[in-house]
Amino acid sequence: MSASPVRKIVIVGGVAGGATAAARIRRLDEHAEIVLIERGPDIAFANCGLPYHIGGEIEDRDALRVQTVAGMKARYNLDIRTRSEVVAIDRQRRVVRVTDHAGGRTYEESYDTLLLSPGAAPIRPPLPGVEHPAVFTLRNLQDMDRIRDATNSARTAVVVGGGFIGLEMVENLHRRGVSVTLVELLPQVLPPMDAEFAERLRRELVAHGVTLHLGDAVAGFEDRAGRLGVQLRSNAVLEADLVILAVGVRPDTQLARDAGLELNQRGGIIVDEHMRTSDPHIYAVGDAVEISDAVLGGPTMLPLAGPANRQARIAADNICGRPSTFRGVQGTAIVRVFGLTAACTGASEKTLRQRGVAYESITVFPKSHAGYFPGAAQMMLKLLFAPPEGRILGAQIVGGEGVDKRIDVLALAIQAGLTTFDLEQAELAYAPQYGSAKDPINIAGFVAGNKLRGDVHCLGPAEVEPQLAQQYTLLDVRNPDEVAAGTIPGSINIPLPLLRRRLDEIPRDKPVLVFCAVGQRGYYACRCLSQHGYSCSSICGGYAAYDLARTAGGAGA
């Protein structure tokens, strides 16, 4: 019996997707010839940790090199070529052209299967002065070293872009004692999240001395005797010792384009659910590919490490003859902003509105663990779901401890197609240090269930317009000391414990809109009033959610 021919797999890109695929292929096929080609000097490093070495939280630079070339070679028997760039693909001959930057030569390498994981490059808008040496982007260890060096002598920095990487850089520059200004084109930070959640983050940034220019953009840079003048579209001029551009990434796919592979309008490589490109001998994964949106359907792109790693595993399975499919992404993401953690999964409220999807939402403010156990932190959690069956469409959470585990439960609930009624029934681990007998997940399910069953009519905080004071009797059921710190203009105050005794103070000619601090007492009041014959609604998330939405200019803004 003749042995089957040895397969030769060439992988372009040796970091998240490429290194993962190489390791998986080896585990499935001991005999394959695997060539891993990486343009830079390092493989398998932790992009996600780069900001934290700049800030000093990760002290040891080598900790970011998750695998070394020698370690990967020894463990997986790979042919690894760093400082080597694939500059062309000849699909007919199944050959790639490689430039060896260290050796100064170019050669050809044949393949049976090619896997592309070239990642994405930070966008550098063509602004005047953008090539100034103090204007940085962050993608790899070398970028990180340059920024860290510049930070040693910097007193002020401007971060352009308030997305995940921008916010991480703000926090880490601040940690190094640099005074930071953040410029963001949109009127909010962290664009994937809804405005009232971004408002919580804005307040946290301001509380830490960060200056914000929201709804503004950089128009250009100029050298001012070694420092940078950062000209904004609003005509404001900021002075900085260094600038971080974090305005997004574009797929690094010129190679695929030149090879004639099918791309989308943004340059993303189009792949099927097996991660195969328009050429059956070429697979692609990671930041460079277009994938499907698992919640709303249709194509999308999501430059995150989790999807890149999972796609790499699936591509490797298919390359090795194990049918395996990628089921799409839902945009689960998390970031720390000083003392807060912000996380989201699935669709946001603004996306659902833009797409015209029918949805309901609730906002709750549960504690991270039992209130009687020291250190419980309040989180703000919004759940978005489809009426009438309650299928979960998305969730957002901002808070301290415990945000991460709740967003992961909700992410999995979305993947499993669960409904809000399933959340009511969810059995989750509880001891007072970790959770509550009614976990935040259960509470979100109860409140959503109350809404879907019609037990209470709720208005979202952004729906509370000034004219509502004419349409409704606004009833604040908090205690007077809470009211003194701020309330909705035109409201009357009857604390919840006194409500039944003072019903005659509430006019019956108009519907009543009740609110409390975070929604719970408002719900109790609403149940009481509606059973006394009042037409009654409550503000979901109470005054806290109303105040955030009002300051942010409305949740859908």
Interface residues toward ligand FAD, by CB under 6 A: 12-13, 15-18, 37-40, 47-48, 50-51, 85-86, 117-119, 138-139, 165, 252, 255, 286-288, 303-306, 308
DSSP letter assigned to residue 502 = G
User: Shortest Cβ distance from residue 16 to ligand FAD (Å)?
Assistant: 3
- At 202, which amino acid appears? R
Which of 441-480 are b and which e, b meaning 16 or more Cβ less than 10 Å from the residue's Cβ?
Answer: bbbbbbbbbbbbeeebbbbbbbbbeeebeeebbbbbbbbe
C-alpha dihedral sign at 329, 11, 89, 8: negative
Strand, helix or coil for residue 116: strand
Between residues 337 and 477, which has the closer beta carbon with respect to ligand FAD?
Answer: 337
User: Shortest Cβ distance from residue 48 to ligand FAD (Å)?
Assistant: 3
Six token digits for residue 266 = 């943004």
User: Shortest Cβ distance from residue 316 to ligand FAD (Å)?
Assistant: 13
User: Shortest Cβ distance from residue 15 to ligand FAD (Å)?
Assistant: 3
Between residues 48 and 492, which has the closer beta carbon with respect to ligand FAD?
Answer: 48
Which of 299-322 are b and which e, b meaning 16 or more Cβ less than 10 Å from the residue's Cβ?
Answer: ebbbbbbebbbbbbbbbbbbbbee
Strand, helix or coil for residue 204: helix
Between residues 41 and 553, which has the closer beta carbon with respect to ligand FAD?
Answer: 41
Q: Which of 48, 526, 528, 540 is catalytic?
A: 48
Place of tokens 């953690």: 341
| SS3 track for 183-203 | EECCCCCCCCCCHHHHHHHHH
User: Shortest Cβ distance from residue 271 to ligand FAD (Å)?
Assistant: 12
Between residues 49 and 511, which has the closer beta carbon with respect to ligand FAD?
Answer: 49
Between residues 143 and 216, which has the closer beta carbon with respect to ligand FAD?
Answer: 143
Which residue's Cβ has the minimum distance to ligand FAD?
Answer: 286
Between residues 334 and 496, which has the closer beta carbon with respect to ligand FAD?
Answer: 334
User: Shortest Cβ distance from residue 46 to ligand FAD (Å)?
Assistant: 8
Concerning whether 48 is annotated as a catalytic residue, the answer is yes
Q: Which residues contact 470 (CB under 8 A, 6 or more apart)?
A: none
Q: Contact, 431 vs 422, CB < 8 A? A: no
CA 140 to chain centre: 20
Catalytic (active-site) positions: 48
